[in-house]
């Protein structure tokens, strides 16, 4: 392996790590919703599940990041990942499982998050928006 190949790999590793971390976060949020669907047998309303999952996600972030990030950032990320978790709760009740659909869905979520991150980096932050925890 040449020095140039090594340098190229080192340059792409941080970006790959961020993508991997974010995709893992998307997967965990989605699977949290799927688990709630399986545990409840979809007997709970979406409002009940949203409250439960929202509290759980918020507590996980608060425990992991505590005083490192401000409250509005914590709440914005809770809301974002709650939306993904709710998709994991709702989708199994309305359609059959399809791994290609799941992978496409995750890819679309990642693409949207990347667009939002780029917009925010350029100073075009939506009102109340903040960066996503990865």
Q: pLDDT tens digits, residue range 90-114?
A: 999 899 989 999 889 999 998 998 8
Round to whole Å and give the CA distance between 115 and 96: 29
At 43 the pLDDT is 84
Q: Per mean pLDDT, which range of 14-18, 28-32, 51-55, 73-77 is the poorest?
A: 14-18
Query: For 64-81, how does the pLDDT look when each residue is reduced to its tens digit (9 = 90+)?
Result: 887 788 888 889 999 999
88, two tokens: 């994991």
Alpha-carbon separation of residue 88 from 19, 81, 82 (angstroms): 20, 11, 10
Round to whole Å and give the CA distance between 78 and 62: 10
Position 29 confidence tier, pLDDT thresholds 50, 70, 90: very high
Query: Under 8 Å CB-to-CB from 18, ≥6 apart: which residues?
Result: 134
Round to whole Å and give the CA distance between 26 and 109: 8
Position 86 confidence tier, pLDDT thresholds 50, 70, 90: very high
Query: Under 8 Å CB-to-CB from 93, ≥6 apart: which residues?
Result: 37, 42
């Amino acid at each position: 392996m040449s020095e140039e190949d090594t340098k190229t790999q080192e340059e792409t590793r941080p970006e790959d790590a961020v993508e991997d971390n974010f995709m893992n976060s998307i997967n965990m949020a989605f699977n949290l919703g799927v688990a709630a669907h399986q545990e409840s047998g979809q007997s709970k309303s979406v409002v009940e599940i949203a409250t439960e999952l929202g509290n759980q996600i918020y507590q996980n972030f608060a425990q992991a990041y505590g005083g490192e990030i401000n409250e509005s950032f914590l709440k914005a990320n809770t809301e974002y990942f709650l939306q993904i978790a709710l998709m994991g709760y709702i989708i199994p009740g309305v359609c059959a499982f399809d791994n290609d659909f799941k992978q496409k869905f995750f890819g679309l979520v990642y693409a949207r998050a990347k667009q939002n991150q780029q917009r925010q980096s350029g100073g075009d932050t939506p009102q109340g928006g903040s960066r996503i925890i990865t």
